[in-house]
Amino acid sequence: MRFKDPWILLLLILWVPMILVYLRRERRFRPAIRFSSLVAVKTAPPSLFIRARHLLPFLRLLGFGLLVVALARPQRGHSDEEVSTEGVDIMMVLDISESMRALDFQPDNRLAVAKKTMRDFLRKRSSDRIGLVVFGARSFTKCPLTLDYNVLDRFIDDIAFTDFSYQTAIGTALATAANRLKESPAKSRVIVLLTDGANNAGDIPPLTAAKAAAELGLKVHTIGVGKEGRVPMPVTVRNPFTGETKRQVQMMDSDLDEKTLQEIAQMTGGTFFRAQSAEKLAEIYRQIDTMEKTEIKTTIYTSFEEKFYPWLWAGFLLLTAELLLQHTRFRRIP
């Protein structure tokens, strides 16, 4: 609520002289009637109308105040917001090669931890189109760019090792993601590549794919996961005599190609991150969430509706009532 002409409320100062005039009149101009004896008058209780004689100035003051408020034009505002966003298009690229079974992020393997972290990252985004590419010996688009985060969340949850998880085609995966983003009209286009190995498959070298991404104006953040040195890896062992198979954990060397991931990020204007624990990986995705923010523009439109009519009618009715009572029930003689 606001007043269009709030300065008119200064007229309420006139209440002061109106009250003073009434008090002066009550003191100096009391009507009198001559009686031979005042005994009956003194013993008679004052009537209700005598007690209510001050009602008239009260109605006059209140009616005048309501008219002043009406003249100040009270208005009620209605605000409408127009929100426009310039979203970020993000392709998440996830390594599902066999090395992602390593248990250095215990109690879960690397893939399980990566999936959980990506889903947490997804819940923090809004107004961005996000897609998913998975890769091993070859790559494919698990989910194209979408705003339906529930569907994408289910796709991430369904990720598992496949029959082409025996090798790592980083270059091919990067090219697949770049191909999904090249026609995107978004102001910011980002690839988040997560892997724990070195490129050993595919027809496209990683740096060649990175150069193509840079020419398309794509930014690539690379994340190398896994601890350095030897890490626990579950393997299937077959008994040569009985043919029985069983799973056991063996220590194997981690083969992360950190140098190539650094070069990919540098060529495309992105950032290289190294995650050697589940906590560090979660922190990295929080950093990326902060770095790649959606630009939101909000324009507020406010319209005002006149609300002086109720005040005007109320003031008019009170002054009319005061006038009628003054000339009828509360009429003074003489």
Q: What's the number of CA atoms in the CB half-sphere (13 Å) around residue 304?
A: 11
Q: Are 232 and 249 in contact (CB under 8 A)?
A: yes
What pLDDT score was predicted for residue 49?
55
CA distance linking residue 129 with residue 186, whole number of Å: 9
Instruction: End-to-end CA distance of the chain: give it in Å, rounded.
Output: 47
Q: Tell me the whole-structure pTM to 2 decimals.
A: 0.63
What pLDDT score was predicted for residue 300?
61
What pLDDT score was predicted for residue 298?
54
CA distance linking residue 99 with residue 233, whole number of Å: 8
Partner residues linked to 294 by β-bridges: none
Phi, psi (deg, nearest 5) at residue 49: -70, -30
Phi, psi (deg, nearest 5) at residue 107: -85, -5
Query: Amino acid identity of 47?
Result: S
What pLDDT score was predicted for residue 83?
52
Partner residues linked to 299 by β-bridges: 82
Low-confidence stretches of the chain (pLDDT < 70) are 28-54, 79-86, 241, 294-301, 329-334
